[in-house]
């Protein structure tokens, strides 16, 4: 029994930094949930740059953070784990910004400061987990970050939505101004945000103290090969140097940047679909899944799907998981259209929300796994910015215009047409990812790097190549 307890304690402290980084995404989810709620609550008001200002500031700070880490990598020729310090800075901004949400009219000030924390956490958090995790825990930890993020979104929608409904009930039968309806709706959210910010900052400081005492290790990767390469300065060696050093069978075309850019594009499309359908199910009277008072249930279902995704990723790769969820989305969308057209039932749409949660983290995982180790934070910045752009574009072109005949339509034929468009895009995403993304399940990061470099090692990989190419020598081989 003593040995079992000792093993559990050792495992806990071994992965403690990763657990804490996952929890850092919880207040970020709260901020994004606030953004969605404020967009909806104030969509009848004139939209100025100030409404998109926090998102723009977040993208700018993400760029500065990514550029700073990239410069350090070039100077030191290795990964320097300063990410926890960045996360502590983000924690301080979370704490300060949470105070502004208590006062009416100052929530925009809090939003600007919150998105500083939001952007820093995304770049430093994902960058840290990508390289510090072992091959067995990497996908699970990144998926855990996404689950904590969705938990924060669901919590924010619950807190803000409940207060907004109270205001609607209070002014029922009266002509209320938009300002009256939004009066004090962020107070409960602010109290929760402040409490979580204090706890998270305390945990981050405690983690740093434990690192100084030697109880936890935040500067050495759990991936042995990566840790050795980082220590001897070979972690960023060029593809040509890898080819000279390693034994191989064949060398094919370098696919790394091709796959990375393709995944960035696919992830942006998938995220835009996610945001569009969340707004659509919440605001379209024909497609609304629940009454306004219980609209947060939709986000809790998505969060439940993301938790289920962590369990699924224990058994197979993120690539297989994404393709599977997309295929299931195709089938369920068709069933939902048939059932809704025949009986008006929306039960099947709730299952679609579960699949949204299931597939939410998949592309983020494979994108981080195939990206170049030197430019990890830069790719995270690009991914983060595209998500903010997707949110802004969907809101501006669809949600903000309450007379939008496409987004707010109740016509059954138009709704079915949108379902078919969704099915076509979903099938294309599944096809692209299934064909272009390599196998990464429980693989070491350096092995994944070599695979996207096009360096063929294994016999089974040779067998997958076109035999005619092998016979006529089309595939380029090393000649140095």
Q: Tell me: the pLDDT tens digits for 296-321?
A: 899 999 999 999 999 999 998 999 99
Specify the pLDDT at position 48. Answer: 60
pLDDT of 46 reads 55
Task: Report pLDDT for 461.
Answer: 47
pTM, to two decimals: 0.92
**Within a domain: residue 136?**
yes
State the pLDDT at residue 460. Answer: 45
Q: Which residues of the chain have pLDDT under 50?
A: 459-463, 476, 478-480
Q: Is residue 216 part of a domain?
A: yes
pLDDT of residue 206: 94
CA distances from 121 to 98, 145, 335, 475 (A): 16, 11, 39, 43
Query: Is the distance from CB of 156 to CB of 29 less than 8 angstroms?
Result: yes
For the record, the structure tokens of 304 come out as 């439940």
- Domain holding 203, by residue range, is 12-472
* 319 CB-near residues (< 8 Å, 6+ apart): 362, 366, 433, 434, 437, 438, 439, 440, 441
Q: Is residue 193 part of a domain?
A: yes
In a domain, 120, yes or no: yes
Q: Could you tell me if residue 477 is inside a domain?
A: no
pLDDT, position 416: 82
Number of domains forming the structure of the chain: 1
In a domain, 6, yes or no: no
Q: CA separation (Å) from 81 to 10, 92, 184, 327, 433?
A: 22, 19, 41, 39, 31
CB 130 within 8 A of CB 138: yes
Q: What is the CATH number of the domain that holds 104?
A: 1.20.1250.20
Confirm whether 125 is domain-assigned.
Answer: yes
pLDDT of residue 270: 92
In a domain, 479, yes or no: no
Q: Could you tell me if 117 and 94 are in contact, meaning their C-beta atoms sit under 8 angstroms apart?
A: yes
CA distances for 38 relative to 156, 181, 397, 400, angstroms: 11, 12, 16, 11
Q: What is the model's pLDDT at position 237?
A: 86
């Amino acid at each position: 029994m003593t040995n079992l307890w000792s093993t559990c304690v050792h495992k806990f402290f071994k992965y403690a930094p990763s657990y804490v980084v996952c929890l850092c995404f919880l207040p970020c989810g709260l901020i994004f949930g606030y953004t969605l709620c404020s967009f909806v609550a104030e969509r009848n008001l004139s939209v100025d740059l100030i409404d998109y200002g926090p998102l723009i500031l977040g993208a700018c700070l993400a760029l500065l953070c990514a550029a700073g880490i990239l410069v350090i990598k070039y100077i030191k020729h290795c990964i320097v784990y300063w990410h926890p310090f960045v996360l502590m800075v983000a924690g301080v901004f979370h704490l300060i910004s949470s105070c502004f949400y208590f006062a009416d009219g100052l929530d925009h000030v809090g939003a600007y400061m919150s998105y500083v924390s939001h952007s820093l956490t995304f770049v430093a958090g994902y960058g840290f987990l990508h390289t510090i995790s072992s091959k067995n825990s990497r996908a699970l930890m990144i998926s855990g970050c996404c689950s904590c993020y969705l938990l924060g979104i669901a919590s924010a929608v619950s807190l803000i939505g409940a207060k907004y409904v109270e205001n609607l009930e209070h002014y029922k039968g009266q002509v209320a101004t938009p300002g009256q309806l939004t009066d004090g709706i962020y107070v409960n959210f602010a109290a929760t945000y402040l409490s979580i910010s204090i706890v998270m900052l305390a945990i981050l400081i405690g983690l740093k103290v434990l690192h100084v005492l030697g109880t936890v290790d935040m500067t050495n990767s759990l991936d042995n090969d990566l840790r050795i390469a980082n220590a001897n300065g070979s972690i960023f060696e060029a593809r040509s140097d890898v080819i000279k050093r390693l034994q191989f069978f064949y060398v094919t075309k370098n696919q790394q940047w091709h796959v990375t850019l393709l995944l960035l594009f696919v992830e942006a499309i998938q995220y835009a679909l996610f945001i569009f359908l969340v707004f659509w199910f919440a605001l379209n009277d024909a497609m609304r899944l629940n009454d306004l008072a219980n609209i947060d249930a939709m986000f809790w279902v998505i969060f439940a799907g993301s938790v289920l995704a962590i369990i699924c990723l224990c058994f197979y790769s993120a690539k297989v998981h994404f393709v599977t969820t997309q295929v299931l989305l195709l089938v369920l969308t068709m069933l939902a259209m048939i059932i809704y057209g025949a009986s008006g039932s929306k039960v099947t749409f709730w299952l679609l929300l579960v699949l949204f949660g299931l597939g939410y983290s998949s592309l983020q995982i494979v994108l981080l796994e195939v990206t170049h180790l030197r430019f990890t934070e830069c790719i995270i910045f690009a991914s983060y910015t595209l998500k903010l752009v997707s949110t802004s574009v969907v809101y501006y072109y669809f949600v903000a215009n309450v007379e939008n005949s496409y987004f707010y339509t109740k016509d059954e034929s138009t709704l079915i047409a949108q379902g078919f468009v969704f099915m076509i895009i979903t099938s294309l995403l599944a096809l692209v990812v299934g064909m272009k993304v390599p196998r990464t399940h429980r693989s070491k990061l350096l092995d994944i790097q070599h695979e996207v470099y096009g360096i063929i090692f294994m016999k089974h990989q040779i067998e997958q190549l076109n035999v005619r190419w092998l016979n006529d020598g089309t595939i380029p081989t090393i000649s140095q």
